[in-house]
Structure 1
Amino acid sequence: MASIKRRDNGKWRARYRDSEGREHARHFETKRDAQQWLDTVTASVVRGDYIDPKAGLISFTDFYASWAKRQLWTRGTRASYETVAATVTFGNTPLLKIKRSHVETWVKKMSTDGLAPQTIANRLGLMRAVLKAAVGDRLLAFDPSTGVRRPTIASKASTMNIPNAKELRALMDASEPFFRVAFLVGAFAGLRQGEVCGLQLSDIDFMRRQLHVRRQVQRESPHPVEIRAPKYNSDRTVHLPQSVLHEISRHVKDFGTYGDEQWLLLGRDGGPMWPRLHEYRFAKAAKAAGLDYTSHDLRHYFASGLIAAGVDVVAVQRAMGHKSASVTLDTYSHLWPNSEERTRGAVESIFEEAFGTPADSSRTRTSV
C-alpha cells in the first residue's frame, strides 16, 4: 500500500509498506518529487530488488562480525579477513553510506603506508567479498567498490625467480643431508611448503611411481600445528620418474621416518616438521650456497620444466594443484612458447604435409 498526502506545513508525505508490513515515509517539497520517489520504490518492489533503507544502517564492522561467524574458513583465511576488517578506514560507516571514495581513500592509505601492490589487491578483494555478501543479504543495492582501481602489479615475468639446474644442485649440496628430500619434492613434484611438511611414507607409491598430495601442515603462532587438506582442496597425484623415486627411497633408507604416521621430515614429538622450521632450513641452505631463493621458487622450477617439455596447461594445473587453469595461465603464460612461433610452426607442418619439404618440391619441379 502506498499513498501521498499533503501535510499542514505544505510538504508532501509519501509512504508505503514493504513486503513485511513495515511502513516507510519521506517528505518532499513538491508532489511530483514525492510521486517520483514512490514510483521508484514501487518498481523496485515489483522487480524484486527492493532494499530496506533501514537495513543498510548497520556499520561495515558490525555486518562483518555477523557475517564472519557463518563462514567456513581455515584459520589462515579468517586471519586475513580479520586484518582487513581491522584496517579499513570506513569500519564505522553504515553500509548504505559507503561510497566509492571511501574505498579509494583506504586503498590510497595502504599504498602510502608502504604495502606491496599485491597485498593491497588481496585486501581489496577480501573487502569486496564482504560488500558482496551485504548485497546478497539485501542490505545494499550494489557494491560501492565497483570500479576502484588497484595499484599496478609488476608482471609475473619480471618478478618470478626461477633457479637453473646448476643453482638447484648448489642448493641441495648446501642443505643438511636429511633435508635434501624437501628440495626433491619441491623441484620435481611442485609441492608447496606446507605440503612438503605433510608428506608421509604412505603418500609415495613406489610401484606405480606416484606421489599423492593429501594434506598440508600449517601453524600460525600462537596456535598449535594444524593438519588440513591442501590449498583449494587440491588433493592430487604427481607422476614421478624412477630417478626421483630412487632419491626418495635413499632418503628413507638413510634417515628413516618419524612418528606413527611416518612423516618424511622430522618435526617435534613425533609430529610433522613445522613450516617455519622448513623455511629456516631452506634459507640456511640458500645462504650457504650464496643464492637468493625461497622454497616457492622450486614450484616455479617444476612448472617451467613441465611447460618447456610441452605439457599442456590443464596437465600443468593439475600437477601444480592450482584452483583453475586460468590461475596457471595468469602465473605462467609468459613461459609458454610465443603464439606467433607456434602459428608459424603449425603452418610449416601442414605445408610440408601437403607439398613436402622445400628441397623435395625443388626436385619435383626439376624432374617435370
Structure 2
Amino acid sequence: MRCKRGPDGKPLFTPSGKPAMERDPARYGKGKRWRVRYLDPGGEERNKSFAKKVDADNFKNAVAADVLRGTYIDPDAGKITFKKLAEEIIDTRTLDPRTRVVMRQRLSKHVYSVIGSKEIGLLSRRSSMIQNLVKKMSAELAPSYIEVIMAHVGLVFSVAIDDELITKNPVKSSTVVLPTVVKKKLVPWTADQVLDVHDKLPARYQAMVAVGAGLGLRDREIFGFSPDDVDWLHGKIAVNRQLKLLRGKLILAPPKGQKTREVPLSETVKVTLAEHMRELEPITVTLPWGDVDGEPTTVRLFFSNTIRRPVHPVTFLETWHKVLERAGIVPPIPAGEKRGTRYREHGVHMLRHYFVSALLAEGEAITAVSEWAGHHSAKFTLDHYGHLMPSSEQRMGKTIDAALRRPARAADGPSTAQGGGE
C-alpha cells in the first residue's frame, strides 16, 4: 500500500485525519507479503517473511512444534561459513598436533575452494552441494583419500549439530555417495621375507625386525622404543611413546590414539634386544613432547642412526626402500622414476601385519591380539585380519581329531586311560 495523493500531488487524509492509503500497482500482491512473528526459547521476538500465506502458516506450525520439542534451531545460527567453522574446530578441538596440521592442509587444498565460503545452514539443507564436492574430488583423487577428506568434512557438520547451528549432517544424506573404495585383502609377508629383510638391513637396524614382527609396534613406536620400557623380569614391554616428524622437527608423543599398551615379551625378542644393547649402547635424547614447542622430555632409545642421533623417519625410509629391492620384495625402479604404491604397500608396517597374522593363524583370541596391537577395537582387527584366521572347518577338524584320538598304549600293557561304559 502507498499514501494516496490528490491531483496536486499532496497527500489525502480520511475524515478521521489518518493518511488515505491505496494499492501500489507496481508492488501490491508481490514479494513477501506474509510475516510470522514468534518468540524463540530465550523469549526474544523474531520474524520471518513469506510470499505465500500457506508457507507462513507451515513455518509458524513448525517453529511452534520445534520449541515444544526442544529442537528449535536459530535460523541465523547457520550463517557461519564452512571455512570459518572448520578453522575454529581445528584450532580448538583436542587433536593430535600432526592431525591438526594434516586436517588443515587437506581442507585447504581440496574443500575450501568449493564450499569454504558457503554458509553451514545452506549446506546442511543442500546435500547436492556436498555431492558436487565429492564429484570434483573424484576427478583427481583416489577413492580412499576422498573417504578420509569427507570424514573431516563430516566432523565439521557434526560439531555444528552439537553446537545447535544446524539439525542434520548432509554428509550422511543418502543422496551423497562416495566413490567405491576397493579394499584389497591383506597379504602378510612370509617368515622367509621377514628374515630376508632382517638380513639385508644394516646391523644397527636389524633388531627393529624383532620389535616390529615380534611385538607389533608401529614404525614410529619402534623409533621411540626405550630400554626403560622393557620389564625384563616379568617378560613384557610397555608402548609408551612414538618418535615422529612434525613440521620438519622430531618430537616425542603418545602412541597413536593416545593409547599406551603392554605386550608380552617372547624369549626370542628378549634375547635379540639384549644382544642389540651389547653391540650398540642406547642413546639418550631430549626432545619436545607432543608438539614442537612442547615440554622437553629426556628418554633413552634403543635405535639410533650412524651419528648416534634418533632415527629420522624420512632418512630411514630411503634405507628401507633399498632393503626391499635387495630382498627381492620390490623390483628395482629405473633411475629417475619415483617409487610407487608397491613401496608403500611394503612399508615397515608389514612387520606389524606379520605379528598380527601369525598370532591369529595360531588361534590366539582376537581381543587379546587387538589389545597388543593397539587397535581401537577388536572389530577393526576382525575387519582387517579376519580372513587370516583359521576357518571354522579347520578348527572343528582339529578339535574332533584330538577328542577322538585313541590314547597311546603303555609299552608293557594296555592303555592307562581311564574310561568306562560301552
TM over 0.5: yes
In the alignment, is residue 252 of structure 1 matched against residue 274 of structure 2? Answer: no
In the alignment, is residue 304 of structure 1 matched against residue 342 of structure 2? Answer: no
- How far the C-alpha of 1:268 sits from its partner, in A, is 9.0
* Count of residues in correspondence between the two structures: 343
Q: Which residue identity is paired with 1:219?
A: L
* Contact 1:175 1:285 (8 Å CA) reproduced: yes
Q: Which residue identity is paired with 1:312?
A: A
- How far the C-alpha of 1:78 sits from its partner, in A, is 0.6
In the alignment, is residue 286 of structure 1 matched against residue 311 of structure 2? Answer: no
* Contact 2:107 2:149 (8 Å CA) reproduced: no
Change (3 A) 1:322 1:307: same
* Contact 1:107 1:150 (8 Å CA) reproduced: yes
Distance in 1 of aligned mates of 2:309 and 2:129: 47
**Which consecutive residues of structure 2, in runs of 5 or more, have no partner in the other structure?**
1-22, 286-298, 331-345, 407-421
- How far the C-alpha of 1:206 sits from its partner, in A, is 2.0
**What is residue 215 of structure 1 aligned with on the other side?**
241
Q: Alignment partner of 2:304: what SS?
A: coil
* Contact 2:197 2:324 (8 Å CA) reproduced: yes
Distance in 2 of aligned mates of 1:268 and 1:285: 17
Distance in 2 of aligned mates of 1:288 and 1:188: 22
Q: Alignment partner of 1:149: what SS?
A: coil
What CA deviation, in whole Å up to 9, does each residue of 1:246-283 have, x standing for no partner? 11111111111112633111159865322223322222
Q: Which residue identity is paired with 1:284?
A: K
Q: Which residue identity is paired with 2:353?
A: H
Change (3 A) 1:270 1:72: farther
From 194, 204, 228, the counterpart of 2:220: 194
**What is residue 103 of structure 1 aligned with on the other side?**
130
Choose between structure 1 and 2 for higher RCO, CA contacts under 8 A separated by at least 6 residues.
1
Change (3 A) 1:180 1:268: closer
- How far the C-alpha of 1:156 sits from its partner, in A, is 4.0
**What is residue 155 of structure 1 aligned with on the other side?**
183
- How far the C-alpha of 1:324 sits from its partner, in A, is 1.0
- How far the C-alpha of 1:211 sits from its partner, in A, is 1.9
In the alignment, is residue 80 of structure 1 matched against residue 102 of structure 2? Answer: yes
- How far the C-alpha of 1:200 sits from its partner, in A, is 1.0
From 316, 335, 339, the counterpart of 2:369: 316
* Contact 1:217 1:226 (8 Å CA) reproduced: yes
RMSD over aligned Cα atoms: 2.4
**What is residue 328 of structure 1 aligned with on the other side?**
381
* Contact 2:367 2:378 (8 Å CA) reproduced: yes
Change (3 A) 1:352 1:338: closer
**What is residue 141 of structure 1 aligned with on the other side?**
167
Q: Which residue identity is paired with 2:131?
A: E
**Alignment map for 1:231-270 (pairs within 5 Å):** 231-259=256-284, 261-267=299-305
Distance in 1 of aligned mates of 2:306 and 2:77: 51
Between the two proteins, what is the percent identity of the paired residues? 30
Distance in 1 of aligned mates of 2:54 and 2:117: 35
Change (3 A) 1:254 1:101: same
Q: Which residue identity is paired with 2:129?
A: H
Change (3 A) 1:71 1:208: same
Distance in 2 of aligned mates of 1:130 and 1:33: 31
Distance in 2 of aligned mates of 1:266 and 1:319: 25
Q: Alignment partner of 1:151: what SS?
A: coil
Distance in 1 of aligned mates of 2:226 and 2:405: 54
**Which consecutive residues of structure 1, in runs of 5 or more, have no partner in the other structure?**
1-7, 359-367
Distance in 2 of aligned mates of 1:152 and 1:302: 29
Distance in 2 of aligned mates of 1:357 and 1:291: 42
Q: Which residue identity is paired with 1:250?
A: E
Change (3 A) 1:68 1:22: farther
Distance in 2 of aligned mates of 1:202 and 1:27: 69
In the alignment, is residue 23 of structure 1 matched against residue 49 of structure 2? Answer: no
Distance in 2 of aligned mates of 1:29 and 1:284: 71
From 123, 129, 154, the counterpart of 2:155: 129
Distance in 2 of aligned mates of 1:180 and 1:46: 67
Which of these two proteins has the greater Rg computed from alpha carbons?
2
In the alignment, is residue 55 of structure 1 matched against residue 81 of structure 2? Answer: no
In the alignment, is residue 40 of structure 1 matched against residue 62 of structure 2? Answer: yes
* Contact 2:87 2:104 (8 Å CA) reproduced: no
Q: Which residue identity is paired with 1:134?
A: A
**What is residue 273 of structure 1 aligned with on the other side?**
311
Q: Alignment partner of 1:122: what SS?
A: helix
Q: More displaced, 292-301 or 17-26?
A: 17-26
* Contact 2:262 2:372 (8 Å CA) reproduced: yes
In the alignment, is residue 67 of structure 1 matched against residue 89 of structure 2? Answer: yes
Q: Which residue identity is paired with 1:107?
A: V
- How far the C-alpha of 1:60 sits from its partner, in A, is 0.2
In the alignment, is residue 225 of structure 1 matched against residue 260 of structure 2? Answer: no
Q: Alignment partner of 1:259: what SS?
A: strand
* Contact 2:78 2:165 (8 Å CA) reproduced: yes
Distance in 1 of aligned mates of 2:402 and 2:394: 16
Q: Alignment partner of 2:158: what SS?
A: helix
Q: More displaced, 146-155 or 295-304?
A: 146-155
- How far the C-alpha of 1:30 sits from its partner, in A, is 4.5
Distance in 1 of aligned mates of 2:366 and 2:386: 9
Q: Alignment partner of 2:92: what SS?
A: coil
Distance in 2 of aligned mates of 1:31 and 1:288: 78
